[in-house]
Structure 1
């Protein structure tokens, strides 16, 4: 269970070494959790902090050889010792985010539960590649302990996107959340070019192509390497599957921009602001310009 109704809150990010990209400590109002965020090169400083001697759950983030975002989720009785093992054991990661409790409220069962829940969310969302080879079931907890763990998880899920980690949120959930904040129904946009037939929606940090959209199977000679690699990765993860000579989206999927979404659909370069249109034929560019003009 995750929160469905956003609410105002305050989050504090402490720059431990005074630089925006340095070691950071993240806390949230009315929450006993704390996150330590460190790049791989800053790990020595992070391991010296008292939080890293406590039980907790952590994620490692980086890129695959193909340039796709990748995630590893883990838990530990002593966060620092476990993350230190990944320096030689895993090459892909460039950043670690470790969560623990300021009041020693997390025990072994709690962190195993959080690890299992994060893995299940990431697997279901299928937005990032996962380096985990196993997906354990949550351990049995009492009703009260499970409620506490779910509350801790919900607060973590508020913080992750602030750190650029949106691996745990399905594209369909984000599109629905965006629509719930609007008085009018969400605007569905359409793409019909070069044999591709797509539907999609704008979201706060990108563009969601909806399940059932059809991408062209062929690719243009001039296709950018990034778009080609995106299409290959989506096929490997079964987000795109063959269907009657085309590639069908088996789930909603979030892209960083409408142009990337359009490029994947048409198998080549595309200007998403012109390719995506509403049901009257008005382009996304015209819609965005009209919004700005009305302010």
Structure 2
């Protein structure tokens, strides 16, 4: 068990975290250039990976699933739980999942709001665009 972390331990954990985040591709990374994987003994690697897994579970439990892939939705033949929107110009569909809402590939969205759009929706749209 690790009682204190050295620079090597931290570099190993950083490398592991960035590698997993890139593989999962759930988040945009500001720092995607991890240092090379430092050399650690097998027993130390096992301890560090155990520490990483524990932190991964803790973060997920607290509502920050940083290293969890986005749930893939299985579409049923009855279209249960599928939300759809159709207008003159767009068609979009998606599904509510444990992690939030998934918009299906091929869905469309309007680039600009219409005059009838409520202010709270315009504000939400601006907020979401700034987050992406």
Counterparts of 1:217 and 1:134, CA distance in 2 = 35
Q: If the length of structure 2 is used for normalisation, what is the TM-score?
A: 0.63
- Say whether the 8 Å CA contact 1:192–1:198 is kept in structure 2: yes
Residue 109 of structure 1 is matched in structure 2 by 8
CA shift in 2, pair 1:228/1:133, >3 Å: same
How many residue pairs match? The answer is 120
User: Residues 66-93 of structure 1, C-alpha deviation per residue, up to 9 Å, x if partnerless?
Assistant: xxxxxxxxxxxxxxxxxxxxxxxxxxxx
Match of 2:51, SS?
Answer: helix
TM-superposed deviation, 1:188: 6.2
On the 8 A contact 2:14/2:34 being kept in 1, the answer is no
Gaps in structure 1 of 5+ consecutive residues: 1-31, 33-100, 180-186, 235-295
Q: 1:137 to 1:207 in 2, by over 3 A?
A: farther
Q: Does the 8 Å contact 2:92/2:103 carry over to 1?
A: no
Aligned equivalents of 1:188 and 1:139: distance in 2? Answer: 47
Contact 2:94 2:101 (8 Å CA) reproduced? no
* Pair 1:227–1:151, CA change in 2 (3 A): same
For structure 2, list consecutive stretches of 5 or more residues without a partner in the other structure: 75-79
Query: Which of structures 1 and 2 has the larger relative contact order (alpha carbons within 8 angstroms, sep 6+)?
Result: 2
With normalisation by structure 1, the TM-score equals 0.33
> Cα distance, 1:125 vs. partner?
4.0
Q: How does 1:197-212 map to 2 (within 5 A)?
A: 197-203=92-98, 205-210=99-104, 212=105
Q: CA RMSD for the aligned pairs?
A: 3.3
CA spacing shift, 1:133–1:119, aligned 2, 3 Å: closer
